[in-house]
Structure 1
């Protein structure tokens, strides 16, 4: 067997060819990563225009592990020091990659507001390492190839793009230091304003009207919007400087491409191992630079607009604008004053480390102040140069709109409303006040949310709740005369008896299918509000198993089954409603007693709060079906079976309506709690949910407010159905049955006796 060998040169050439073969596919991978980043930036732009938030919050393209990983892939060309890339497209692709990184960094600015302190530190550190690595690689390449600078087709543009990329990194680090302190300031101002609103508006929730609740939500909306860290960051001087730099980077990229077209009469000319994939990288990243520049440039224009507004025009050039506020350097001062090198035993070494840290932080503080003053100077120069054009444009716009404005009487009301809302607009010390049109835009946003909610309201649920003329169903669904299967009864939540009563109603024979479908449709929407109330008003883990037992609703609604029992089949096969109730009670009793026998004397399972959700659901079915069965036996409709079934179905519907009506009286508290019980990062979202909920339920609230409530709606007891039952029984003079009290313990075999009695019946 003979073996042939290639010569040394041929072998190296063959090996190099094999290594270069996958490089075009790697280029395609780089282009794909660039596409992902570009689409995320474009989504933020579309979201900003669609929501009329021209400060463009970061919703899709944020500073996180995913975006940093994609950018690391997209920057493959600038960090490639070994590949020969001297053709037109190859050189332009390197410039576009650096410009793309600069644009991405500018877009990251506002996302710092939605991150926690630890996330900010970790993410900014990761971005710092990535950018420094890219910059060093570019610098090494320039330094090593200085004798071939004449072959660098776009050498000046590459140097400028790398320099601006590094400058934007420093601006982002400076902004991150500010954000770490700003959140505490904003949250403190919000809490002060929240206390003022509470003392004025929420003394008695029973006196709140729909208009009053709307006004309350609108105040919290303004507070949440103006204290949103992303909103505050977008209006900062550093974001203004980022907008200017993004515009310059965009111009540099465009100039390089246009110059290459004019000089070389072509733009597509590749000579590297990446092949034609560099063309795709150039195209995609150029588009990404254009799209990514929209948000920073609009923030720059927004800052000029604020400075030129009527409210800030006189103070635009005041010396107070250049005053360094405490929150810009507070975190650096805190780090300097903190203890350091505590693990070093040697005193002189510990002193050296402490002094070195102090000198370093003093230097960083001066750099921070320099960056802030420079950014403020950029804003001042921008306002001086572009302000007259903006004012001229605004004047022309006002002249065109004057006739229309005078014909709308609502503007006068809006001016007064804006003046009222200005008190609730939060801002940092030294920041310019918001113009009236910005406050009016914020107010219009919440009005649109109200309208969206109104379009989503459920007319069927409203009609269903009109069936309730009292709240007696809150007591009537579970009689104290029903013997317990266990010496301790599990508590109730709002949703569980509603699900159980609906399951019983579906199982009744002789009920028109349309009535059943209508009931299920109304209960579906009512349960969504009931579960929201339980989630909002109950403490963490409170009645967790009881609430989980109500999740059987999905099985009831979708498959018309309750714990494997086909309710539709039961309805068809039952002779009358009594037989259907007895069958459901039998299944429920067997489920509970089988569980008791299996667990024996387990101490943990003696507490109903520890029962599995199916056992809690079965116990509820037993008690409620037995209660309804006793009501059925006492009724006088037995001569006409069809009439008896329909009468019982109507009785169950009325009970469900009573329970849901009592539950939904808590919506006022839920709306107000959603307005203010949230962290600063998600506060705006929470208030938006409150506004949407108010729009959906305004008609329901007006219906319930017209009724006499047996329990104060701002009472803690109102959140629990057992609290309602206790208060109503107390007011009606009803004595609690001894079997519902844990003090009177029946014999352990009492449940077995009940089971035998039912089975024999």
Structure 2
């Protein structure tokens, strides 16, 4: 009966191994990502603390919480210790992710992790008392791991208490430096080119984003350094235990003294191997952090001063000073509870200081190892320069601007090391160079072909005529992307145009829409424009994937051969199709008032096409001219180019706006997007700088404001 009831435990052992493998994979992905982006403090992107990861970790910790299963084999006992070491490793790797959470998520996740860790520690203690963990060498190591887990949990809780205050300090410093940057930019407005000005602006915000990144701040504090050191020690202890037991004391597998002797049977081997790999793989990032973090800040006497700054205990002090309401209305009861609260928080403040000082002392261990290597490295570099007669001057054309004033640090008495500043600056240059390789050549060719020095961007004004009101009883609102798509759909089906010209235009429009959508997303944030942008994204996807404008085919073969149509017929076809959709919508609403912000996407696309097609027909019919294929294609291409040019003059402002991200958790990604955008559009900005009109920047973001400006004499 016992064998029957324990038979599923093999599958449970495999389940534990799978859960452990998932955690290992997430940690390995973070490790590879850190190497890829050359951030050797390894920010957490995949293995972060949340409900899903806590659930998977709980499954992986099945062995330490198993109170009843007899596990007297060497592999069994090693498996229990391996799980405890694996838990230490995971807790150290989870620590940077705490900084990326808001306060509510931080409280919920820390509470859940605390319950799990305390459960593991208590159950391990029970197993020691009941001799499930054997009272020998294994018991001593298990006690060491329990102490490590408890200390790591204390470090995580202490860090979580500090995070909100750290973010507030960084936010205040960020706002102050941002004002300084804006003043400097205004003073240099006409002194340097737009590209140079943007590069300077982006670099300043890049320094702020990198040094003020919550995970960077978390990793560079002494608590994180201490957790990394504990993780490395737990790995070394585990490897030593495994080596001693298996090479010296573990007997060959026999019936009298089996290596594993538990209900998990052979699955124990899979668990031990998997979690042993996890201990080693998960310790790589903490090992790098132990030594990399030392290079972040300049080594000085402050490393030997164990002063606890106010921000470490600020949150606890705020709780101590705040008044809370109690259910009791009796004055004496309220006073008693208030005094009890103050005593508890007074103890917590003192304990927090002890934890910080302890972690600072533990953090000195890598310094003892690093200092000789740093000294030898500097000596080697000096000898190398003397022998090779190399110059230390930088070959780059970068300005010698002092970027240290844009560094965000929580502690005022610390400085970022010059080597770290150089690495951060070079990382931005590398990102720009990488983005430059992704220049859109088809778009540049279109702009060069249709935009000349004397170009007045008349296409922005002539593509639409306000005298052609659509059947919709709402005010018409133009966007940048929608008329480009409508004009393109007409242009690509014009017969007797070389396929190479059509393909080139189509590719150019596809590349241009990437930027027009970006400008709209950044600068046109009113709901009516958001609705139009969503409609254009859906419409262009249908054009690219299905070669259709709504229900109208864009296959060129449908307009050639026996179905041949003149350009005028094609334009009328689009106008009639659009009018049909609009009339059907009017009938469905039955005269009800429809707000422009709530128009269906299909109706938005039809409304644009109706006005544009009617405008083109009127332009030719009013002059009593026949529509020639080549002339119409060139005219439409010119309109498209003019609209794209007018829109892309907003790229510098869109780049600047992406640098101004108020949410600290999103700032690094937003500035990285700005850097990438600058790299991709450098040539475009240089070409279009002379086409920037004398308009207010806020008005330049809207095509209708451009039309008003161009219509003025």
* The one of 553, 559, 562 aligned to 2:540: 553
Q: Take 1:181 and 1:690, find their aligned partners in 2: how far apart are those partners? A: 28
Structure 1 residue 145: Cα displacement: 2.8
Q: Which residue of 2 aligns with 1:598?
A: 588
Q: Which residue of 1 aligns with 2:256?
A: none
State the secondary structure of the residue aligned to 2:527: coil
Residues 172-321 of structure 1 mapped to structure 2, 5 A cutoff: 172-202=156-186, 208-265=193-250, 269-306=259-296, 311-313=298-300, 315-317=302-304, 321=305
- Identify if the C-alpha distance between structure 1 residues 587 and 451 changes in structure 2 by more than 3 Å, giving closer, same or farther: same
Structure 1 residue 375: Cα displacement: 1.3
* The one of 105, 108, 120 aligned to 2:106: 120
* The one of 678, 690, 693 aligned to 1:710: 693
Number of positions where the alignment pairs a residue of Structure 1 with one of Structure 2? 699
Q: Which residue of 2 aligns with 1:544?
A: 530
Q: Which residue of 1 aligns with 2:519?
A: 533
Q: Take 1:382 and 1:578, find their aligned partners in 2: how far apart are those partners? A: 78
Q: Take 1:599 and 1:503, find their aligned partners in 2: how far apart are those partners? A: 28
Residues 694-709 of structure 1 mapped to structure 2, 5 A cutoff: 694-707=678-691, 709=692
* The one of 610, 615, 627 aligned to 2:598: 610
Q: Take 2:472 and 2:125, find their aligned partners in 1: how far apart are those partners? A: 79
Most deviating of 541-550 and 54-63? 541-550
Most deviating of 111-120 and 585-594? 585-594
- Identify if the C-alpha distance between structure 1 residues 27 and 696 changes in structure 2 by more than 3 Å, giving closer, same or farther: same
Q: Which residue of 1 aligns with 2:613?
A: 625
Q: Take 1:265 and 1:480, find their aligned partners in 2: how far apart are those partners? A: 89
Q: Which residue of 1 aligns with 2:461?
A: 475
- Identify if the C-alpha distance between structure 1 residues 363 and 688 changes in structure 2 by more than 3 Å, giving closer, same or farther: same
State the secondary structure of the residue aligned to 1:322: coil
- Identify if the C-alpha distance between structure 1 residues 546 and 46 changes in structure 2 by more than 3 Å, giving closer, same or farther: closer
* The one of 124, 129, 133 aligned to 1:143: 129
Q: Take 1:598 and 1:305, find their aligned partners in 2: how far apart are those partners? A: 68
- Identify if the C-alpha distance between structure 1 residues 667 and 545 changes in structure 2 by more than 3 Å, giving closer, same or farther: same
* The one of 108, 117, 120 aligned to 1:134: 120
The answer as to 2:23 corresponding to 1:40 is no
Structure 1 residue 347: Cα displacement: 2.7
Structure 1 unpaired stretches of 5+:
1-13, 733-761
Structure 1 residue 165: Cα displacement: 1.1
Q: Take 1:181 and 1:213, find their aligned partners in 2: how far apart are those partners? A: 32
- C-alpha contact (below 8 Å) 1:306/1:432 kept by paired residues: no
- C-alpha contact (below 8 Å) 2:659/2:671 kept by paired residues: yes
State which structure, 1 or 2, has the greater radius of gyration over its C-alpha atoms.
Answer: 1
- Identify if the C-alpha distance between structure 1 residues 548 and 682 changes in structure 2 by more than 3 Å, giving closer, same or farther: closer
The answer as to 2:495 corresponding to 1:509 is yes
Q: Which residue of 2 aligns with 1:55?
A: 41
Q: Take 1:243 and 1:65, find their aligned partners in 2: how far apart are those partners? A: 23
Q: Deviations over 1:381-406 (max 9, x none)?
A: 54245423442244335534666682
Structure 1 residue 290: Cα displacement: 1.2
- Identify if the C-alpha distance between structure 1 residues 394 and 21 changes in structure 2 by more than 3 Å, giving closer, same or farther: farther
Most deviating of 339-348 and 496-505? 339-348
Structure 1 residue 39: Cα displacement: 1.4
Output the TM-score relative to the length of structure 1. 0.88
Q: Deviations over 1:25-60 (max 9, x none)?
A: 111110111111111111111111221111111111
- Identify if the C-alpha distance between structure 1 residues 423 and 655 changes in structure 2 by more than 3 Å, giving closer, same or farther: same
- C-alpha contact (below 8 Å) 1:221/1:688 kept by paired residues: yes
Structure 1 residue 273: Cα displacement: 0.8
- C-alpha contact (below 8 Å) 1:220/1:687 kept by paired residues: yes
Q: Deviations over 1:605-629 (max 9, x none)?
A: 2x43332222222121111111111
Structure 1 residue 266: Cα displacement: 5.3
- C-alpha contact (below 8 Å) 1:304/1:387 kept by paired residues: no
- C-alpha contact (below 8 Å) 2:521/2:530 kept by paired residues: no
Output the TM-score relative to the length of structure 2. 0.93
The answer as to 2:46 corresponding to 1:66 is no
Q: Deviations over 1:425-447 (max 9, x none)?
A: 11122563111111111011111
Q: Take 1:82 and 1:224, find their aligned partners in 2: how far apart are those partners? A: 51
- C-alpha contact (below 8 Å) 2:539/2:549 kept by paired residues: yes
The answer as to 2:82 corresponding to 1:96 is yes
State the secondary structure of the residue aligned to 1:249: helix
Most deviating of 43-52 and 129-138? 43-52
The answer as to 2:553 corresponding to 1:566 is yes
Structure 1 residue 149: Cα displacement: 4.9
- C-alpha contact (below 8 Å) 1:100/1:286 kept by paired residues: yes
Most deviating of 419-428 and 621-630? 419-428
The answer as to 2:642 corresponding to 1:658 is yes
- C-alpha contact (below 8 Å) 1:674/1:690 kept by paired residues: yes
The answer as to 2:667 corresponding to 1:669 is no
Q: Take 1:100 and 1:549, find their aligned partners in 2: how far apart are those partners? A: 50
The answer as to 2:360 corresponding to 1:376 is yes
State the secondary structure of the residue aligned to 1:79: coil
Q: Take 1:343 and 1:176, find their aligned partners in 2: how far apart are those partners? A: 29
State the secondary structure of the residue aligned to 2:665: coil
Q: Take 1:101 and 1:518, find their aligned partners in 2: how far apart are those partners? A: 57
Structure 1 residue 412: Cα displacement: 8.7
* The one of 420, 436, 455 aligned to 1:454: 436
- C-alpha contact (below 8 Å) 1:205/1:668 kept by paired residues: no
Most deviating of 346-355 and 175-184? 346-355
Q: Deviations over 1:249-268 (max 9, x none)?
A: 11110111111023325587
The answer as to 2:446 corresponding to 1:464 is yes
- Identify if the C-alpha distance between structure 1 residues 570 and 413 changes in structure 2 by more than 3 Å, giving closer, same or farther: closer
Q: Which residue of 1 aligns with 2:419?
A: 437
- Identify if the C-alpha distance between structure 1 residues 563 and 131 changes in structure 2 by more than 3 Å, giving closer, same or farther: same
* The one of 20, 24, 28 aligned to 2:10: 24
- C-alpha contact (below 8 Å) 1:218/1:443 kept by paired residues: yes
Q: Which residue of 2 aligns with 1:363?
A: 347
Q: Which residue of 2 aligns with 1:584?
A: 574
Structure 1 residue 597: Cα displacement: 2.7
Q: Take 1:266 and 1:540, find their aligned partners in 2: how far apart are those partners? A: 74
